[in-house]
Amino acid sequence: MKLTVYLAGEIHTDWREEIRSAVGDLDVTFTGPVTDHAASDDCGAIILGSEEKKFWHDRKGAGLNAIRTRKAIADADVIVVRFGDKYRQWNAAFDAGQAVALGKSLVVMHGPDHAHALKEVDAAAQAVCETPRQVAEILRYVLKGDVPA
């Protein structure tokens, strides 16, 4: 068995790299959104033509990002969503909703402060955790049946 795991949400910390490094040589393919914030915001205007209104500037970029996200969610077995303190990350919750409706397994990562606000999302998840290390341990258990010593 191998897994394809979509890492949704926060793009300002290196949590994805921590998970990648912690899983070592497990048979996991990771996907995720474009994490270059400027490119993610401006790709649409740069490629498709600039817009005066910020709303349509954003729309063009969001369209391109959706091509990537849709493909990655469709291909994923598991979606991991990280909610942090800084941003509203509605798009991470939106991705999670799509994934659940498509029958993917959901792992939610957040600190205890957000537990109440995320209770509906957590209730749809197979696991709720706090750290990248736990995500890696989950993936190792799912693939190998090994629990941490």
- Residues 54-93 touching a copy of itself, rule: CB under 8 A, are 54-56, 58-72, 74-75, 77-78, 83, 87-93
Residues 104-133 within binding reach of a copy of itself (CB under 8 A): 105, 107, 114-129
CA-angle at 8, arms to 94 and 123, nearest 5°: 60
CA-angle at 85, arms to 35 and 57, nearest 5°: 45
E strands, 28-124, are 28-31, 78-82, 105-109
Residues 2-41 within binding reach of a copy of itself (CB under 8 A): 3, 31, 34-36, 39-40
> How many residues contact a copy of itself, by CB under 8 A?
84
Q: Give the shortest CB-53-to-a copy of itself separation in angstroms.
A: 8
Q: Give the shortest CB-35-to-a copy of itself separation in angstroms.
A: 7
Question: Which of 19, 23, 99, 132 is in the footprint of a copy of itself by CB under 8 A?
Answer: 99
Q: How far apart are CA 42 and CA 58, in angstroms?
A: 7
CA-angle at 4, arms to 126 and 63, nearest 5°: 95
